[in-house]
Amino acid sequence: MMQSKYFRTCFGIIALLLIIYLGSEISFLFRPIVSMINMLIVPVAMAGFFYYLLRPIVDYLERQKIKRSIGVLMLYFVFAGLCAIFGIVVWPTLREQMETFISNAPFLVEGVQEQIDQLQQNPYWSRFIPTESELTTSLTEYMNRIITWISNSINNLITVVSGVVIIIATIPIILYYMLKEGNKLPPRLLSVLPRRFRRDGQEVLGEIDSALSNFIIGKVILNLILSVLIYIGFLIIGLPYSLLLTVISFFLNFIPYIGALLATIPVVIVGFIEAPSIAIWSVVVIVIAQQIQDNILTPVIYGKQLDIHPLTTVVLILVGGDFFGLLGILLAIPAYMIIKILVVRIYELFLAEKVEEA
C-alpha cells in the first residue's frame, strides 16, 4: 500500500512537470492572454480600489429604494461636482506651486550648494560635510543619473500616455458594472464549487471581501488624516510648496514603509534649501504625524484586523517589487491577505485533522 501510494505521488509530480514543460513549449499560444491580463490589471485594480470605497454609499442608496444603476450615476455626478470644487478652490494654489517649483528646479542644486557652503563655514558642521570637490562630483553624478532617467522616460512617453488614456477611459466603465452587479459575482463563483464546499466558500468570500474593504477604506482614511496633520505642520513651520509636498506625500504613503521615506526626501530637500532648521523641523513634523498615525489612529481604525508582522510586510514589498514593480508593491499586502485566508481555510478543511492524528 505504501509503495502504491509512493508511486502514485511520483507519477503525479512527473505528470505535473510534463504539463509545465509542454506549456512552456507552446507559450506563444498564451501570449494574447498574458497581454490582455497585463493591459487590464491596472484599470481593474484601480476600479476595485474605488469599488470598495464607493460600495457602502451605493448600498445605502439601495436601502433607500434607489436602484443601484441610478445610485452609481448619482455618485458619478457628485464626483464630477467635487472635481469642479477642487478645480476652483484647491487647484489654483496647487498649480501655482507646481509652476513655481518647475521654474525654480534648475536652481535647486545651486540652493543646496549655497546652504552647504554656509554650513562649511561653521566649525562644527564642517567636520561632517565633504570637501567642495567631493560634493561637486557627487552632485554631478546625481544630475547625470537624473538626465539619463529623463531621457529614458521620454523614449517611452508615447507608451505611457497611451496607457494612461486607456486606464482613464476604462476605469469608470469597469467601476460602473462592479458597483451595479458586484453582488452577483459571489453566487456565480460558488456555483463552480461542489455543494459540500459552498458554505465554506461563502464564508471565505465574505472574509476576503471584509478584509479588503476594511484595508482599503482604512488606508484612505489614515492617509487623509496624516496628510491634514502634515499640511498643518508645514504651514506652521513655513515650508515652501507645502500643499504640493502634502499631495505628493498623500499618494506616496499608499506604498507601505517605502512610501513614507520617499515622501520625506523632497520635503527635506526643499526645507534644506530654505534653511537647515526648516529641514529639521520638517522631519519633526513628519515623525510626529507618523507616530500619531501608527500609535493612535491605526489601532482605532484597524484594531486587530490587519494582523501582519512588520517583517512580513517588508518581505512582501521586496518580493512584490522584484516581480511586478510598483504594482507588485501596492498589491502585495492585499494579495497576501487573500492567500492567507484561502490557505487557512484549506488547511482547516483538508489537513487539520490529519496533522492532529499524526
Domain boundaries, the chain: 203-306, 307-357
User: Pick from 297, 295, 296, 265: which is nearest to 282 by CA?
Assistant: 265
Strand segments (E) across the chain = none
* pTM given for the model: 0.72
The grid coordinates of residue 39 equal 493591459
3-state DSSP call for residue 254?
A: coil
Higher pLDDT, 67 or 162: 67
- CB burial readout 1-23, b (16+ within 10 A) else e: eeeeeeeeeeeeeeeeeeeeeee
Residue 266: exposure state from Cβ atoms within 10 A (0-12, 13-18, ≥19)? middle
Average pLDDT of span 84-103: 80
Share of the chain above pLDDT 70, in %: 74
pLDDT digits 0-9 by tens, 154-196: 444 445 445 556 667 788 888 888 888 877 888 888 887 888 8
According to DSSP, residue 306 is labeled S
pLDDT digits 0-9 by tens, 5-42: 667 777 778 888 888 777 777 766 767 777 777 777 87
User: Pick from 79, 50, 42, 30: which is nearest to 162 by CA?
Assistant: 42
DSSP string, 165-183: HHHHHHHHHHHHHHHHHGG
- Position 300, amino acid: V
Farthest CA pair distance, the chain: 84
Question: Terminal CA-to-CA distance of the chain, rounded, Å?
Answer: 18
Question: d(Cα 120, Cα 124) in Å, to the nearest integer?
Answer: 9
